[in-house]
Amino acid sequence: MTSERLSLLSAALLATFAGSSHADQTTPIQGIIDKTPNLVALTGATVYTEPGKKQEKATVLIADGRISAVGTKVTVPAGYQQIDASRYTLYPGFIDPYTQYGIAAAEKAKRGSYRDAPVYTNERKGGNASNAAIHAEKDWVTEFEPDAKAAEQLRKLGFTAAQSARFDGIFRGQAFVSSLGDGLANELVLKASGPQFMAFDKGTSKQSYPSSLMGSIALIRQTLSDANWYNNAYGKTDVRYFNEPVEFNAALASISNIAQAGVVFETNDDRSLLRANQLFNEFKLNNVAMVGSGYEYVRLADIKASGRSLILPLNFPAAPEVEQVADQLDVSLADLRHWERAPANAAALAQAGVPFALTTYRLKELKQFWPNLRKAVKQGLTTDKALAALTTEPARLAGVADRLGKIAPGYQADIVLADGDLFADGNIVATWIRGQQHNVETVNPVEFAGDYQLTVAGKAITVNLTGAGDKLSGTATAVDAEAVKLTDVKAQQQQLQFNLALKTLTGSAQVAQFSGRLTDNVLTGKWQIATRAESVSAKRQTAGQSKSQQAKKPQSTAGTMLSKMTFPNRAYGLPELAKQQNVHIKNATVWTAEQDGILEQTDVIVRNGKFDKIGKNLSTPSGFAVIDATGMHLTPGIIDEHSHVAIEAGVNEGTAAVTSEVRIGDVINPEDINLYRGLAGGTTTAQLLHGSANPIGGQAQVIQFRWGETAEGLKMKSAPPSIKFALGENVKQSNWGDAFTSRYPQTRIGVETTIRDAFQAAKEYKTKLAAYNKLSKRQREDVAPPRIDYRLQALVEILDKQRFIHTHSYVASEILMLIELADEMGFNITTFTHILEGYKTSKEMLAHGASASTFADWWAYKMEVQDAIPTNACLMAEQGMLVSINSDDAGLQRRLNQEAAKSVMYCGMSQHDALKMVTINPAKQLKIDSVTGSIKVGKQADFVLWNTNPLSVYSQAQQTWIGGTKYFDIDTDKQLQQQLEAERAALIQKVLMADDDAKAGDKDGYKQDEPEWHCEDQGDWWQISNHLHLHGHSH
């Protein structure tokens, strides 16, 4: 905040208002009752009554805190205090829909480390939620304490009302709307109960769960579901499924009406916005506004399609640090692009017709608000849209559109009085809130600016004054002397003082001190020169103009953008989404991964995304593109049974032994560059698995590497649901450090009981649900329904053969144990993954009906892989098992063909069988083999063209196709490389030429690339991301 000092006058006025504000209706009066009237007429103003509606020379009448009349023909009734606003512009008071105004902020999250001891429980009191990130029951209006200083800072920006709650946790509690005036909370509250503020970030919660984004999403999902259940169950007398009365739960009670009360959800970027949208769609919650990030422009169409309203912060990123050539190594093209485009985000949203309000949230310094908003206007945001985003839009979002947001009769008298056009260079002079005037500067100040012919010490001089208020300054000149700067220039109402050193003008060493006053354009006063006084008087010769009179208009000066926009918007993104092609591939060596084996000199025709014909010397259908594949090898797209690429904000929710409620599908990151790199290695499909931190991990997601699409677009809809289980060292926390020795289980013997008990619970849960579903409608009226438990639901799906297990496993004993347990509890294991001792137990796995997915040759890195051997795949295959080779690693994922070749080398597997281990075999394991995994007529055209035998170390993917759409081409890649280097260089030049204003912003205002996730990566994502944001600086 700037420390602009208020003029003495306005400070005095403020003090007066504070003392005379009328008492509320319930406080007993002490002393004399204040009955000062508040009837004001602002006359002759330019008035924006609402966005897009302007009246010139209009009058606004304010009576008892409301606007009683507006118009050009309104006459000022007798008894009104008239304020000449003819030099000013009036706007409806601004509303910030996302603040913590009047609420003590949460203490900053303690810097934690992943080595800290885990916290598994929450402090329980008052019927709160079991998770410390849920504060849904908080009714923030009850904690509201008006904050004069904060209110004044917001008023200086033109804000007269705010919607507030504490920014802490996932469910943050119910917001309220208040005026930013002075007074008791009782007077200022405009709407006591508003939307629930929410976010993915667990904030200051010390509880370990959730440690990942997918954990947060699962917690939201469970809580929203619980709210529905609670609504239905609480108080019912028949509690047959609980054997005790349904508990009181304040958190759930408070969100039982969330559909009506609405949600304001804080997002971090476009991905998080679309993710939140998806989640609320599941619950058909329409009344959700998203706090934006500035990244919305990169997925504009999808965000518009979401239909959500936005609340946009105006923090822009600081220019990437390219001043030193060496530091350019650390700057990405994506960041350079965002620096250039972020200020144009609001304009892009407005043009697309996405409704949004503006907020001061995320500004490191409030004084950045107007400069940044003007940047947005320069980038094409119309002033009408900008004004709507400050008035009618936030009024609508906060549910106060009937009272706030317009200058109209009946509306609360919340008005901004500005000198000039705020969206150009105007400044805010005063606000009225509920009819109370709050000056930022003096209204109608005496203007001293001009020239005055005076004499001092016998010398004729011209005193030239410029500026006003605190910025009043001046010079004195004589015909034979250089200009001398006046010092200590002070104006107060009509009075003026300044000092003048006489040395230059008269040669005297003395200082002349002027004091006088300006009346009727005549400055009268006296010089005090040491003991001598001289009276003077002069008429002002030229008068200054107010900004309103200068009428500077905001201008859009958006220059040409140097940055490209691509999908995703980063290096190697595509200028437009890739399109399906019909193509005739001629004369390739075709590895079918079917019984046909390897076909020499064969043609393949791809039509409408599918393999249409396979044969020799086929004729090219009309309109089909032709690829001459002479000398090339054509294989099915590579499929990876075990991958952690394209997962955002945590691969493990390792904070509980069973987390079957979390879903990798919730956290797909379509911008992960490893997708593109995978394509370059021929990979088209992968199962993204939860990590291996717990015996029953999260739900998996099969994706296809459709580079450029959104998270939803990557998902392979035909893949049935699957889930990660894990056994051994990771789940028993062998290598997590000394702090992690308390979670059950700590041994392989405990892993068995953990899984057994979870399935036991799932069975009982299933029985209860079935029993409830059999009840008649009438019976259900009295019966408290069982609570939907997403954790157990996933296990029920397993029992129902609707969800398939891929279990991380290494040693023989744990493999046999899980098979025994599966038989006992009635579930199947689809695939043992990693399974480095699979060769010891292949008979048993085969008998169970399980398949195996293993590493080609990894071993020795931990105790449980000491017996891993590179012939594992061969031995399991020899036993008759379905075997695949997986990567579990972004680097390996791009040479799975080479990994498969190791079985040819180490144990003589046939080349075609080896290739099947990374194509049709994993397709079978993922149960997508009817769709993909081989070159077969009717299957989806997922294929790779290689320069040579794909099992050779010398092979390189030339083209990679998914569903008849080409996503990678080695020649296009070279072009992209050249283009991006040129674009990078141009943007770096642009930064180097930019002025400080264009460079200023948040250094942490960029998306962060994810670390390469591995299945054991276990840190608390929220602590990691908090570090970053706590340390952000601006310059």
Partner 1 sequence: MKLSKTCLSLFVALTGSLAAGQVLAHDIVPGKAAATPVLLTGLTVHSVTSGVSTDTDVLIADGKIAAIGTDLAAPEGATVMALDGKHLYPGLIALANQLGLIEIEAVRSTDDSTEVTQTNPDIRAKVAYNADSEVIPTIRSNGFAYAMVYPSGSMLMGQSSLMQLDAWNYQDAVVADATGLHVRWPNASTLGSRWNPKPADEVRKANAEQLEALQQHFKDAKAYYDAEQAGLNHGVDSRWHQMLPVFKGERPLFVHADDERQIRQAMLLAKQYGLKLTIVGGRDSWRMADELAAAKVAVIYTAPYGLPTRVDENFRQAFITPKVLQDAGVQYALSLDGYWDTRNLVFAAGQAISYGLTPEQALRSVTINAAQIAGVADTIGSIEVGKAASLVVSDGDIFDYLGHKVTHLWIDGRAVDLNNRHKQLHDKYRQRIN
For partner 1, the binding residues in 563-592 under the rule CB under 8 A are 570-572
732 is a contact residue toward partner 1 (CB under 8 A) = no
Return the number of the residue (746 or 879) whose C-beta is nearest partner 1.
879
Q: Name which position in 119, 150, 561, 869 contacts partner 1 (CB under 8 A).
A: 869
Q: Minimum distance between the CB of residue 329 and partner 1, rounded to whole angstroms?
A: 6
What part of residues 152-171 is at the interface with partner 1 (CB under 8 A)?
none
Which range in 126-134, 137-145, 262-270, 861-869 contacts partner 1 by CB under 8 A?
A: 861-869
Q: Give me the DSSP letters along 125-173.
A: -TT--SSTTB-TT-BGGGG----HHHHHHHHHTTEEEEEE----SSEEE
87 is a contact residue toward partner 1 (CB under 8 A) = no
Q: Across-strand partners of 497?
A: 490, 515
916 is a contact residue toward partner 1 (CB under 8 A) = no
354 is a contact residue toward partner 1 (CB under 8 A) = no
329 is a contact residue toward partner 1 (CB under 8 A) = yes
729 is a contact residue toward partner 1 (CB under 8 A) = yes
Q: Name which position in 201, 340, 857, 929 contacts partner 1 (CB under 8 A).
A: 857
748 is a contact residue toward partner 1 (CB under 8 A) = no
In 7-146, alpha helices (H):
8-20
The residue count of the chain comes to 1035
Return the number of the residue (518 or 987) whose C-beta is nearest partner 1.
987
Return the number of the residue (56 or 973) whose C-beta is nearest partner 1.
973
Return the number of the residue (305 or 1030) whose C-beta is nearest partner 1.
1030
735 is a contact residue toward partner 1 (CB under 8 A) = yes
**Angle separating helix axes 790-799 and 213-233, nearest 10 degrees:** 100
Cα–Cα distance, 174 to 172 (Å, whole number): 7
955 is a contact residue toward partner 1 (CB under 8 A) = yes
Q: Minimum distance between the CB of residue 597 and partner 1, rounded to whole angstroms?
A: 17
Q: Name which position in 409, 544, 878, 912 contacts partner 1 (CB under 8 A).
A: 878
Cα–Cα distance, 885 to 856 (Å, whole number): 6
What part of residues 588-627 is at the interface with partner 1 (CB under 8 A)?
none
Its sign, for the CA torsion 137, 396, 146, 63, is negative
Q: Name which position in 282, 330, 488, 757 contacts partner 1 (CB under 8 A).
A: 330
Q: Minimum distance between the CB of residue 372 and partner 1, rounded to whole angstroms?
A: 21
What part of residues 796-855 is at the interface with partner 1 (CB under 8 A)?
808, 834, 839-840, 842-843
CA–CA distance from 799 to each of 661, 724, 763 (Å)? 15, 15, 8
996 is a contact residue toward partner 1 (CB under 8 A) = no
Count of residues that interact with partner 1, criterion CB under 8 A = 91
Return the number of the residue (738 or 996) whose C-beta is nearest partner 1.
738
x/- track of binding to partner 1 for residues 495-534 (CB under 8 A): ----------------------------------------
Cα–Cα distance, 471 to 708 (Å, whole number): 53
Which range in 144-152, 291-299, 507-515, 950-958 contacts partner 1 by CB under 8 A?
A: 950-958
Cα–Cα distance, 226 to 787 (Å, whole number): 7
Which range in 382-390, 404-412, 499-507, 883-891 contacts partner 1 by CB under 8 A?
A: 883-891
859 is a contact residue toward partner 1 (CB under 8 A) = yes
Q: Minimum distance between the CB of residue 841 and partner 1, rounded to whole angstroms?
A: 9
Residue with tokens 């996730």: 1013
What part of residues 294-323 is at the interface with partner 1 (CB under 8 A)?
321
Return the number of the residue (253 or 907) whose C-beta is nearest partner 1.
907
Which range in 66-74, 405-413, 700-708, 1014-1022 contacts partner 1 by CB under 8 A?
A: 1014-1022
Under 8 Å between Cβ of 649 and 1020: no
Q: Name which position in 333, 430, 719, 873 contacts partner 1 (CB under 8 A).
A: 333
Return the number of the residue (145 or 327) whose C-beta is nearest partner 1.
327
Under 8 Å between Cβ of 885 and 951: no
Under 8 Å between Cβ of 178 and 433: no
Which range in 224-232, 331-339, 533-541, 752-760 contacts partner 1 by CB under 8 A?
A: 331-339
What part of residues 963-992 is at the interface with partner 1 (CB under 8 A)?
973, 977, 980, 984
Distance of CA 942 to the CA centre of its chain: 34
Burial 51-83 (b: 16+ CB within 10 A, else e): beeebeebbbbbbebbbbbbeeebebeeebeeb
Cα–Cα distance, 903 to 96 (Å, whole number): 64
Return the number of the residue (151 or 334) whose C-beta is nearest partner 1.
334
**Angle separating helix axes 383-390 and 345-352, nearest 10 degrees:** 90
Return the number of the residue (148 or 739) whose C-beta is nearest partner 1.
739
Q: Minimum distance between the CB of residue 1008 and partner 1, rounded to whole angstroms?
A: 7
CA angle 377, 573, 716 (to 5 degrees): 115
Cα–Cα distance, 604 to 614 (Å, whole number): 5
CA angle 638, 640, 646 (to 5 degrees): 110
What part of residues 99-128 is at the interface with partner 1 (CB under 8 A)?
114-115
201 is a contact residue toward partner 1 (CB under 8 A) = no
Q: With H, G, I as helix, E, B as strand and everything else as coil, classify residue 328.
A: helix
Q: Minimum distance between the CB of residue 973 and partner 1, rounded to whole angstroms?
A: 7
Nearest CA among 241, 230, 232, 246 for reference residue 767: 241
Phi/psi at 689 (5° precision):
-105, 145
* Identity at 983, one-letter amino acid code: E
Q: Name which position in 692, 699, 934, 965 contacts partner 1 (CB under 8 A).
A: 692
Residue with tokens 């911008």: 671
Nearest CA among 367, 313, 413 for reference residue 97: 313
Which range in 159-167, 545-553, 787-795, 1012-1020 contacts partner 1 by CB under 8 A?
A: 1012-1020
Return the number of the residue (460 or 1028) whose C-beta is nearest partner 1.
1028
940 is a contact residue toward partner 1 (CB under 8 A) = no
Environment class of 285 (CB within 10 Å of its CB; exposed 0-12, middle 13-18, buried 19+): middle
Phi/psi at 888 (5° precision):
55, 20
Q: Minimum distance between the CB of residue 203 and partner 1, rounded to whole angstroms?
A: 18
746 is a contact residue toward partner 1 (CB under 8 A) = no
Q: Which residues lie below 8 Å from residue 416, measured CB to CB, with a gap of 6+?
A: 90, 91, 92, 93, 94, 158, 160, 422, 428, 430, 431
What part of residues 454-483 is at the interface with partner 1 (CB under 8 A)?
none
Q: With H, G, I as helix, E, B as strand and everything else as coil, classify residue 902.
A: helix
Nearest CA among 547, 402, 555, 404 for reference residue 46: 547
Return the number of the residue (147 or 321) whose C-beta is nearest partner 1.
321
What part of residues 645-684 is at the interface with partner 1 (CB under 8 A)?
673-674, 676-677, 680-681
Cα–Cα distance, 620 to 626 (Å, whole number): 8
Return the number of the residue (137 or 729) whose C-beta is nearest partner 1.
729
Which range in 415-423, 698-706, 782-790, 1000-1008 contacts partner 1 by CB under 8 A?
A: 1000-1008
Return the number of the residue (544 or 870) whose C-beta is nearest partner 1.
870
Q: Name which position in 730, 807, 925, 940 contacts partner 1 (CB under 8 A).
A: 730
Q: Minimum distance between the CB of residue 136 and partner 1, rounded to whole angstroms?
A: 30
Return the number of the residue (540 or 732) whose C-beta is nearest partner 1.
732
Cα–Cα distance, 914 to 916 (Å, whole number): 5
CA angle 121, 123, 125 (to 5 degrees): 135
562 is a contact residue toward partner 1 (CB under 8 A) = no
Our separate counts of H helices and E strands in the chain read 29, 44
